[in-house]
Amino acid sequence: MDATLAIVILVVVVALVFDYTNGFHDAANAIATSVSTRALTPKIALALAALMNFIGAFLGQKVAQTVSDVISPPQDNHGLIIVAAGLAGAIAWNLITWYFGLPSSSSHALIGGLAGSAIAAGVTVNWDTVLNKVVIPMFLSPLFAFSAGFVVMVALLWLFKRANPHRANRGFRLAQTFSAAAMALGHGLQDAQKTMGVIFLALLTGGYVAQGDPLPIWVIVAAAAAISAGTWAGGWRIMRTLGRRIIHLDPPQGFAAESVAASVLYTTAFVYEAPISTTHTITSAVMGVGATKRLSAVRWGVARSILTAWVLTFPAAAGMAALSYFLLHGITRL
């Protein structure tokens, strides 16, 4: 086995590890609302999320293409070290925010990691792609999710104002099975593709595929399996933050938040080809539906902590990736 193939295999393994951490870090995104409203038991919710994550990974490749265009590393072993360092920075930040129970963005950790390692190595970061496909959607998608969550919840309250509360809650618990499945499908569609994009970038850097080639089927299957396995492992710390600490949700609120978040994920993936944050989207939707009760019902102190993690994610992952690059470059001399 030559050195290039060995490094490509190593980068693919690290990418799948990131995919796995993404799964357990973001599992709460799809199911926290359903579990907190008791629409689904935790085990059933995790199984549903894992299955829908796997299916969602096969529904598109546009986001993967965007991720593979974020940086332009040299097509040699040094380029592979840059990609590996970017992944290491993203994984480190994922683990830190998971430990503290903060639902930060795996997507932005990955993009920040790739950019940080590229800057440290002195290679090109495609800032137009980062700005148009990452930074602008990063700000717009939570604002839209919050606003849409508020509007949809107001509409549901008006439509069901004369309904029997017990019967309505029972119906919305059933509906949450479908909205949670839609949310998990959107998570697989968005987040599994990000790992596919990094693996494709590694294969491109190593000379095993050419620009414009389709994603190899084994890349799609491996990414889908890794994120599913991570989702099944669960993310209970973050689930508690989303499901209870921001606001106590009832079934109609849970259904509204999940439906809005799923719609945003599909639109950005298929229409804008933008790798947005599932975490930002569902958290903003939860706050939006909660604000219809009264603004004080949302625990803004917790929301402020989450916002801080969001703001820190890009530079923190970039910094960790830069350190990883200097370490790997120093050890391997590549």
One pLDDT digit (tens) per residue for the chain, 334 residues: 588 899 999 999 999 998 998 887 776 666 777 777 778 877 788 888 889 989 999 998 889 999 999 999 998 899 999 999 999 999 998 888 877 777 678 888 999 999 999 999 999 999 999 999 888 988 888 889 999 999 999 999 999 988 998 899 899 989 988 998 998 899 889 888 989 999 999 999 999 998 888 899 999 999 999 999 988 876 555 555 554 555 567 889 889 999 999 999 999 999 888 888 887 888 889 889 988 877 666 666 666 766 777 788 889 999 999 999 999 999 888 7
Helix ranges (H only) for the chain are 3-36, 42-56, 62-68, 77-99, 106-121, 127-130, 136-159, 165-187, 193-206, 217-233, 236-240, 251-267, 278-290, 300-332
Return phi, psi of residue 4, to 5°: -60, -45
The pTM for the full model equals 0.85
